[in-house]
Amino acid sequence: MAALWGSAEAGTVQSSPGSFDPSHCLLEARRVAVHVPAVEGDRMSGERSIEIERAPVSAGLADELAVFWEETFGTSFDETREVLGNGLEVGRNRDIVWFVRRESVGTSDLGATCQLTVSIEQPELGGLGGVATADDCRRQGLAERLCREARDLFREAGGEAVFLGTINPAAARVYNRLGWRRLAGSTVYANITGDRSPEEFLVDWFRGAAGPVTVIPGTAHARIPMIPLLLTPHSEQVLDANVDLLSVRYARQDSCMGLYPRYAELASADGAWFGGWSENGRLVGLASVRPLPVTGGGAGWTAQLDGCVHRVARAAWRDLIDAALDWASEAGASEALVVTSVEDESKRIQFEANGFVPDGAGDEIDIDGRRVGTARLKRQL
């Protein structure tokens, strides 16, 4: 197995910001307006435009989108300003936004939006987010039209699976009409090109991923590829305690496009994370490090570690954990800590085989409404 500690920025280079990559049959113009007739009873103008922009978007639009989505979803979209406004992920992901404007004056004149993110190195995968409609534009079919446009463009470019998450039953009905189907154990939906269920796609996706695995520091390259990995049922209950991830075999997963930001936020808080990639380009494992104060106020700091791998790449688990340990040691940590479910016996045995020793009981965790004890393990660095 190879471990790469240099820059993980290398990869397919995206075409210039003014065009879509023609090799993937994407839109050639950075900004396109498509006129769509209004439906009967529409409170907007008789003819409206569906506008399409790719990152980096035009000046001001990133702020407009962030404000619109913050008002709609009640959470921060600061990352959106960087990704869409500055093209932060150009060269890693293609981000495309569809939107319709309304005539009424308010904090934003956006009427409806959606955003498609496609992995550059794995254009078979995509994620849909930012699907939102202003209150005065609801029940006009706008979100459905935008999502259909995004789905069709994704398929035309050779996409095979585009994921989204929703806990809204009305939105789920719209997505269902457009071909999205819910993944078991989650509120994540997948639209699969061809006659396969989401579960069949996940099995096929990791077929052939056995063999050597390369471990590299985590970057936005993994934003979309981590979705199939984390939505696959795993045998262990706790996938990564550092980012509150449980296996869908035991607890419902309500996050889709919100999975990658958990790792990004960990890294921005002086932590680190790593991805394990198979020879055929599948993300088959993840590991993370969270910095904590040493118990009792001792010197140095504690590195809380965790990680998971797909069953086809079990041998890579040790390499991922070793990468996390090496990073923590070089960054000055004095000890490493693991907190895992008392029912994840195989995971505890793996950590003990890597030099960790029992350190008492941890706090209980909630797994689908059931209180489960945890075990702490430590290792000196």
The share of the chain scoring above pLDDT 90, in percent, equals 74
CA distance 20 to 15: 6
Q: pLDDT tens digits, residue range 39-50?
A: 333 334 445 689
The per-residue pLDDT of the chain, averaged, comes to 87
pLDDT digits (tens, 9 = 90+) for 321-343: 999 999 999 999 999 999 999 99
Q: Are strands 125-133 and 161-165 parallel, antiparallel or unpaired?
A: parallel
Half-sphere exposure of 285 (CA within 13 A, CB side): 32
> Computed over its alpha carbons, how large is the radius of gyration of the chain?
22
Q: For residue 275, give the nearest of 210, 209, 218 by alpha carbon.
A: 218
Q: Is the pLDDT of residue 23 over 70?
A: no
The model's pLDDT over 84-94, given as tens digits with 9 standing for 90+, comes to: 988 778 889 99
For residue range 162-220, list pLDDT tens digits in order: 999 999 999 999 999 999 999 999 999 999 999 899 999 999 999 989 889 999 999 99
Measured torsion, CA atoms of residues 347, 351, 354, 359, in degrees rounded to the nearest 10: -160
Query: In sequence order, what E strands does 75-212 have?
Result: 93-101, 110-119, 125-133, 161-165, 181-182, 188-192
Give the separation between CA 197 and CA 202, rounded to whole angstroms: 9
- Map out the domains of the chain with their CATH numbers: 22-202 (3.40.630.30), 213-380 (3.40.630.30)
